[in-house]
Amino acid sequence: MVTKKHELAGIKMKGAEIILQVLADEGVKVIFGYSGGAILPTYDAIFRWNRTHKEHPIQLIVPANEQGAGFMASGYARASGEVGVLLVTSGPGATNATTPIRDAMADSIPLVMISGQVARSAVGTDAFQEAPVFNLMSSCAKHVFLVEEPEKLEEIVRTAFYIARTGRPGPVVIDIPKDVQNYEGIFKGKGMLPLHGYQNRMQNINNNEITEDEAKEFFTLLKASKRPLLYVGGGIISSNSTHILREFARTFRIPIVTTVMGIGAIDTHDLLCLHMLGMHGTAYANYAVMDCDLLIAVGTRFDDRVAGLASEFAPNAKILHIDIDAAEIGKVKPVVWSHVGDAGKALKSLLQYGKNLTLKHEAWIKHVLHLKKEYPLAYDHNAQKIQPAEVIEKLNDIVKGDAIFTTGVGQHQMFAAQYLHIKHPRTFITSGSMGTMGFGLPSAIGAQLAKPDKIIIDIDGDGSLRMNIGEMETCTNYNIPVKILLLNNHGDGMVVQWQTLYFEGRFSGSDKSLHKKDFVKSAEADGFKFSKRVAHREELHKTLEEFINFDKGPAFLEVVVDKKALVFPMVGPGMGYKDMVTGPFIKAREIPKVEEEPQEPSDAFAEAF
């Protein structure tokens, strides 16, 4: 195969110009970042690039701080599936970005962070705004480069994108001394670093087809099962294979539970969807996990918020596991069958092998539909104050699943995960593993830039919004039409919930009654043309409609909600699903009853197919 020579190969460029050219070659359209002395040559290169490439500019979004830049890049990546890029300066610029880098690593999100560094001659001297970025980020990122040889800069930047997007995606950091950015060298137009070990692993994963014997063993286990369940995580979304998952589930009549990162893998209104499992999963999802006899884990890991007390998780089930990361296989729960590889590719192979099989799980389907009917999500419909769940239900009535949602972290995040109608992958964006407050607003900005034709709604809490409230001005600076829906319970709701349940109501550090912020005036001060507050139920639906329909820039709506509303169900820390607390409004069952004999499909199930 003959590779076409890059049209600029052989041209002399400065290091900063090489960086920009590789970014353009990698398809980068937006950079999020904050400037500073050690990264100024690259910021100057952006200015010059956009002046000479008006037909293909690279948009620069400057946030209030570098954490915001990182979460914007993450929101962009999560919504688009492309690599998000952030550009920060040395010292505090880089350290401020540590949290979003670790957040992206925990949720397997592809980012490339480029940070300026003091000149090579000053490294290690405690120079002004020097920080040990390589050491700091090595424990937070998928890979870190410190560019010590300017001749390798081009290959390093190109390799960073390759590492970020291949295998299990993740963030890659490139620390570039200022003198390397000013270095002059020849642009080659091709080449990556020789990462033989990593490339061999990627090749092995890509070539790791499910063999006929493995497929036969898989279907032997599936045919022997009377109560199979698919347990799906963000890996199926990362592999852009949710359509294959949906076909697989329908073909073999297998219900699905998802992690918070897997929300959107299947339409939440699909009868086969039991929604989210785990600490705040639906009661019927958790009951299905307790009842299943075969658990097929796809693109997911058995973390503590899902597995709880691991020894009691899926107690009656044999476990099959498909994941691109071999380290996750058997890490928490032993498995009887596994495959290391791309989730979508694996399911497609199994579909092909089993295309002539007819599997009947009708009694099980009838049972899980009964669980959905008997143990639905519920809250206090007679409460005097507005309930967080009812806000989201009314939002569903208006939006009907045709939006991209981001969230902060806390009770509002769990209410959103439980109650939102999500139709498509990459439309529910949240900080899953790290649980990073302040994520919602900047990630919404990134998602809006990735998907400018979509409605982007940040469902946030007052505690989370405060964390990165400076990014409200970023919305108006660039006229980014995100919609911020603040569920204000005047406190750190999830912390309050734990203190209520486990600390005898001692609200240490979580009582926010002293806070005087008027969020509506803050939004107005930042230039929002729509900024309203709702405190009474009779105003809610109409104002929500006005909020959603506002099309003249970003919009802000604060809804004052009941601070005593708790998120249920809840599986307490270190507890098993049998200890799940369903709260005062969700029915709890006493003894699981699973019908063993095949029956005719229920009417509801028949309608689904």
Query: Is position 129 annotated as part of the catalytic site?
Result: yes
Three state DSSP letters for 73-137: HHHHHHHHCCCEEEEECCCHHHHHCHHHHHHHHHHCCCEEEEEEECCHHHCCCCCCCCCCHHHHH
Given the residues 467, 494, 570, 580, select the one marked as catalytic. Answer: 494
Q: DSSP alpha helices (H): ranges in 426-585?
A: 440-450, 462-467, 471-477, 493-502, 519-525, 537-549
Q: Of the residues 14, 178, 226, 366, which is catalytic?
A: 178
Residues 29, 129, 152, 360: which is the catalytic one?
129
Is residue 570 annotated as part of the catalytic site, yes or no? no
Spell out the SS3 assignment of 143-156. EEEECCCHHHHHHH
Closest CA to 72 of 402, 335, 445: 445
Give the active site residue among 5, 59, 128, 542.
128
Helix (H, G, I), strand (E, B) or coil at 176: strand
Structural tokens at position 187 = 């642009």
d(CA 183, CA 16): 8
- Residue corresponding to tokens 């806000």: 391
- Taking the C-alpha atoms of residue 28 and residue 423, their distance in angstroms, rounded to an integer, is 28
Is 128 designated active site?
A: yes
Residue 244 region by backbone torsions, left for phi larger than 0, else alpha for psi between -120 and 50, else beta: alpha
Residue/partner pairs of 504-507 with CB below 8 Å, 24 or more apart? none
Q: Which residues contact 390 (CB under 8 A, 6 or more apart)?
A: 379, 381, 537, 540
Q: Is 130 left (phi over 0), alpha (psi -120 to 50) or beta?
A: beta
Cβ-proximal residues to 5 (8 Å cutoff; 6+ apart), any chain: 189
Annotated active-site residue 130? The verdict is no
Which is the catalytic residue, given 17, 26, 32, 66?
66
**Catalytic positions, written as ranges:** 66, 128-129, 178, 494
